[in-house]
Structure 1
Amino acid sequence: MSENGSETYPGFDGAPLVLHRMGEGRPVILLHGLFSSAHVNWVKFGTAAQLAAAGIECLMPDLRAHGASAAPHDPAAYPPDVLVRDLEALVAHLGLTDYDLVGFSLGSRTSVRAVIAGLSPRRLVLAGMGLEGLAGWLRRQAFFSEVLDKFGTIRPGERGYPAQQFLKTMGTDPQAARLLLGTMDDTDPAALAAITMPTLVLCGDQDNDNGSADRLAEVLPNARRATIPGTHMSCVTEPAMGVELVSFLTT
């Protein structure tokens, strides 16, 4: 199954952001991971097609500074929690009142902070995320900042080389990505009490990149844990990803 199509919508500041759609039915917003894209996370390996076949309309934005969306170099385009503000703009643009929200890695982090800020999806999926990836984000941010600061000069075998090569493969704009990283902050675990909707914490069995998914599920008021095969990078390629999402979102 191919995408229904792509369209542009205005971010919080009017920046042109791109939304990809697939399927018809109940609307579900899917937010991709850091330095990835909607296509790589959701379309390329068939996850969106699985959801669409189950009667779900997949709404898949390319986040600011990712994919086909705008990657401005003006620091004013990157206020704190800019991705949350862009998500709020998307929900308002589409007029959504009854929808589900799925995030992977950075998408999960954005989803958490958006719900804390007031968005209220019926159901929430936090994939590729652990408690430390929220509460201790600044440590992970420092790693990516180092990669971007040294972009193009990191040699094979050196710290950050695989991340640099992934950025090159994705065509990431290093200047825009560096500005985006500066918009993110740690999340106080106590604030997670605001996430009261049914939540699925979904993580690969070899994925510890963002800390403990078990601990995240334990501190959320209404969460259950699911495990699929894979590392942080490989779990999005697994058919089990779509199987778990369909099961959770259609029951």
Structure 2
Amino acid sequence: MNTETFESFDGTKLALHRVGEGRPLVLLHGLFSSAEMNWVKWGHDQRIAEEGFEVLMLDFRVHGQSESPREPEAYPQNVLVRDVAALVEHLALDDYDLGGFSLGARTSLHAVAHGVLEPKNLVIGGMGTAGLGEWAKRSAYFKRVIDEFENIPRGDPAYFSMQFLKSQGVDRVAARLLLDTMPDLDLAMLSNITMPTLVVCGDEDRDNGSASELAALIANSDFVEVPGTHMGSVTKPDLGIAMAEWLAAHK
């Protein structure tokens, strides 16, 4: 794997991890995770690369090896969409695929539905309708995790999220600013997504609502269930296999 940095639209330095050779796939990780935690650690990147892809894994700002600016002006609305667009421009990508898990999936859907990006194929992992149209509820949950960080007791549903943030070394000041940049997506805008789309989700994953309902709202989509909860499905090979096989079939 090769890792490099590039400057996004506002000069923030973001990390890009590249694996494999072939058709470009821009792959986006989940909230407070990283390319390493979502894709590399469990071998999903290698499995996809084996199908003839160059897997281009971005670390979002405030995540992984990317910078975590603390200035409020570094967090305009939908800043992550702008970061992904900056990556596509930086690499001069024209014919490419786009995929993501959880926050990465949400960001991908916003980018395509708003016409910012036009990948040939789209992969949406760990996302349902509630994760798009009810973001305020999810954001409030994570703000509580940040604000009450060290005071969240064992047994509290937020305790695991707090431990995960701590393990990833997330800058909580920057993270809180980032949470306010993510608007809801009007589900009617999903009609703008016309390219082949894979919606893949854990069979026990209800964190972002119904993935099958999301798939039903995207005209040209396939829905696949893999084993696991929201966090657990990423750790199993089935997710990477499902993505790799679907992408290979839509080259």
TM-score range, shorter chain: over 0.9
* Equivalent residue runs for 1:123-202 within 5 Å: 123-202=121-200
Matched, 1:24 2:16: no
> Is residue 86 from structure 1 mapped to residue 83 from structure 2 by the alignment?
yes
Q: Secondary structure at the match of 1:237?
A: coil
Q: What aligned pairs does 1:193-212 form with structure 2 within 5 A after superposition?
A: 193-212=191-210
Correspondence for 2:97: 100
Structure 1: distance between partners of 2:237 and 2:161: 24
Structure 1 CA distance for aligned equivalents of residues 238 and 153 of structure 2? 35
Distance 1:225 1:63 in 2: 26
CA distance in 2, matches of 1:117, 1:72: 26
1:28–1:101 CA contact under 8 A, matched in 2: yes
Q: Is the 8 Å Cα contact of residues 10 and 17 (structure 1) preserved in structure 2?
A: yes
Aligned equivalents of 2:50, 2:221: Cα separation in 1: 25
Query: What is the 5 A alignment of 1:104-119?
Result: 104-118=101-115, 119=117
| Matching of residues 31-110 of structure 1 within 5 Å | 31-110=28-107
Deviation per CA, 1:31-77, whole angstroms, max 9, x where unpaired? 00000000010000000010111111000010010001010000000
Structure 1 residue 158, shift from structure 2 partner: 2.3
- Contact (CA 8 Å) 1:151, 1:174: kept in 2 or not? no
CA distance in 1, matches of 2:184, 2:167: 28
Aligned mates of 1:117, 1:94 — CA distance in 2: 21
Residue 189 of structure 1 and its aligned partner are, at CA, apart by 0.6
AA partner of residue 118 (structure 2): S
Number of aligned residue pairs: 248
Residue 243 of structure 2 is matched in structure 1 by: 245
Q: What TM-score do the two structures reach when normalised by structure 2? A: 0.97
The separation in 2 between residues aligned to 1:117 and 1:96, in whole angstroms, is: 18
Separation in structure 2 between the aligned mates of residue 103 and residue 159 of structure 1, nearest angstrom:
25
Aligned amino acid, residue 5 of structure 2: T
Q: Answer yes or no: is the 8 Å Cα contact 1:203–1:226 preserved in 2.
A: yes
Unaligned segments of structure 2, at least 5 residues = none
SS at match of 1:152: helix
Contact 1:20 1:38 in 2 (8 A): yes
The separation in 1 between residues aligned to 2:20 and 2:88, in whole angstroms, is 18
Identity of aligned residues (%): 54
CA contact (8 A) 1:71 1:176 kept: yes
Residue 12 in structure 1 maps to residue 12 in structure 2? no
Q: Report the equivalent of 2:120.
A: 122
The 5 A counterparts of 1:223-238 are 223-238=221-236
- What one-letter code is carried by the residue in structure 1 that aligns with 2:196? P
> Normalising to structure 1: TM-score of the pair?
0.97
Question: Partner amino acid for 2:81?
Answer: V
**RMSD of Structure 2 on Structure 1 (CA):** 0.7
Structure 1 residues 188-210: Cα deviation after superposition (integer angstroms, max 9, x where no partner): 01111111100010000100000
